[in-house]
Amino acid sequence: MKDLRCLIVDDEPLAIDVVVNYLERLDIRAITRCDNGIDAFRHLQQQTFDLLFLDIEMPQLTGFDLLKSLTHRPLVVITTAWRDFAVESFEWEVLDYLVKPFSFPRFLQAMEKAIRTLQHPVPPPPSSPPVGNTHFLFLKSDRQYVKVEISRILYIESLKDYIRVVTTNDTLLCHQSLTDITAKLPPDQFLRVHRSYTLALAKIDQVRQHRAHIGGKHIPISRACRQEVYRRLNE
């Protein structure tokens, strides 16, 4: 355990001190500290770590933003004062989720899990949540997580900092980007046809004058996407 290389990322110095203290109790000395996500990204590009202790809400680059930017990453333990991010965190296949203030016994549980995982390695997690292995998504809307069946999604519309997810039985407004949610959807079923729209190909009723008719909505197909849309429909 003493040979573990750990990176702690948190914008609160006292929170970093707590993790350092817990690690040192376990005789772990290879510890790197970062108070922001940008510096952490640089460290992760320059050297290899076994464990990443990561806060979520940080200025400039959030914990989730950092995870999205990494092609390969170490085992991740989330350390946050908020319980609301638990579902989204585990979509990123994090090792554990510690809610501040967490005790040393709880921290030790996470470390034991890390040791077991490192002793029996599995292929590294992908840079984005896996698609095609599940039939639903959990989307945060109106301060709660809502389970959405992928098969019910008709289309998704970008509204600046938000998206509107339209399903066969509901409409949700979520604080998320169209790019991020499109990456979580099965690529053989969904296609981004415009900078503002991603739609379910199987739900298209007809295409006329470069517009897809779906769920009573006429969705424009951008010039750059037309050839791919028609190719996929012909298949």
Q: Do residues 32 and 114 both lie within one domain?
A: yes
For residue 110, the domain's CATH number is 3.40.50.2300
What's 164's domain CATH number? 2.40.50.1020
> What is the pTM (predicted TM-score) of this model?
0.55
Q: Is residue 131 part of a domain?
A: no
Q: Examine the domain organization and report whether 141 and 101 are in the same domain.
A: no
Whether 12 and 115 share a structural domain = yes
Examine residue 128 and state whether it is found in any structural domain, yes or no: no
HEC per residue, the chain: CCCCEEEEECCCHHHHHHHHHHHHHCCCCEEEEECCHHHHHHHHHHCCCCEEEECCCCCCCCHHHHHHHCCCCCEEEEEECCCCCHHHHHHCCCCEEEECCCCHHHHHHHHHHHHHHHHCCCCCCCCCCCCCCCCEEEEEECCEEEEEEHHHEEEEEEECCEEEEEECCCEEEECCCHHHHHHHCCCCCEEEEECCEEEEHHHCCEEECCEEEECCEEEECCHHHHHHHHHHHHC
Q: Do 109 and 160 reside in the same domain of the chain?
A: no
Does one domain contain both 111 and 21? Answer: yes
Residue span of the structural domain in which 181 resides = 136-234
Instruction: Say how many domains are in the chain.
Output: 2
Instruction: Kindly give the confidence (pLDDT) of every residue in the chain, 235 residues in length, as a single tens digit, with 9 standing for 90 and above.
Output: 668 999 999 999 999 999 999 999 999 999 999 999 999 999 999 999 999 999 999 988 899 889 888 878 899 999 999 888 887 777 778 889 999 999 999 999 999 999 988 887 655 444 444 444 468 888 888 878 888 999 999 999 999 789 999 999 999 999 888 988 998 899 889 999 999 999 999 999 999 989 999 988 999 999 888 888 888 888 7
